[in-house]
Structure 1
Amino acid sequence: MTRLGELERAVMDVLWDRSGPATVREVVDALDGRDLAYTTVMTVLDRLAGKGMVERERHGRAWSYLPAAGRDAYIAQLMLDALDLAGERDAALVRFARSVTGDEADVLRAALEAGGTTTGGGTPSGKSRDKA
């Protein structure tokens, strides 16, 4: 999975916080205070589309952009990718489990008891990480 740069993350945050698609102009407006050129945001969205992070659809002369997956799916994939870097996955998992709060542990426990079903769309690519 591709890690996002600061501006890419800011653009994705705009898209994740919306309930529908956004044009480049709407993203630029939502990033007010950052003093970004329209073409800069357009380039970032184009790159995000190339990375599979956003889907786009043509509406007249403009493109509308939607996240390809939810924020929770992206974060979960980052966590899995980080776990892949561990020499000992079990040790990394135990260390992580010991670092979460009681409420977070309850959420993890409930998810495990539910049989590993996910909410929010699974991995950003939509592919299962289960190994056959």
Structure 2
Amino acid sequence: MAEPDPRGRRRAQGALETQVLAALHQAEGPVTAAWVQDRLAADLAYTTVMTVLARLLSKNAVTREREGRSFVWMPSADEAGLAALKMRRVLDGEQDRRAVLASFITTLPEDDEQLLRELLRHAGDEG
């Protein structure tokens, strides 16, 4: 369930993940959940921050290492990487991958379709 913002509205799904990732990217190294909590503009409970970090860990968007009795956290994906992970999870959740990809491609603006073709061509050259 999304955490309400201070003005009484609910945050969009993934907004907290984006804020937590942004805080981790501002850090100069591994940081604690309490550090992340202090950097977020919202008045969030420590447990909420831990829940978001755990979700990001399950998405491979962050990593953690034990330091003493707690963990320190680091981003393993930038915002583009997190978006790609979300796209992959959606695709992995569908039975007909071909249909989903075909539908996605046919709805892309022409510039994005050309970019995708170029990226696929380069990926094929590297493989």
Interval of TM-score (by shorter of Structure 1 and Structure 2): 0.5 to 0.7
Q: 1:75 is matched with which residue?
A: 83
Matches within 5 A, 1:85-104: 85-104=93-112
Give the structure, 1 or 2, with the largest relative contact order (CA under 8 Å, sep 6 or more): 1
Instruction: Report what 1:125 is aligned to.
Output: none
Paired residues for 1:1-132 under 5 Å: 7-16=16-25, 20-32=29-41, 34-42=42-50, 44-45=52-53, 47-48=54-55, 51=58, 52-59=60-67, 63-116=71-124
Partner-residue secondary structure (3-state), 1:12: helix
Q: Would the alpha carbon gap of residues 58 and 11 (structure 1) be closer, same or farther in structure 2, given more than 3 Å must change?
A: same
TM-score by length of 1: 0.58
Cα distance, 1:102–1:18 mapped onto 2, change above 3 Å: farther
RMSD across aligned C-alpha pairs, in angstroms? 3.5
State the Cα distance separating 1:35 from its structure 2 match. Answer: 0.9
What is the TM-score with the length of structure 2 in the denominator?
A: 0.59
Equivalences, count: 113
Q: For structure 2, which runs of at least 5 residues remain unmatched after alignment?
A: 1-12
Which of the pair is proportionally richer in helix?
A: 2
Q: Percent identity?
A: 38
Unaligned runs of 5+ in 1: 119-132
Q: Secondary structure at the match of 2:123?
A: coil
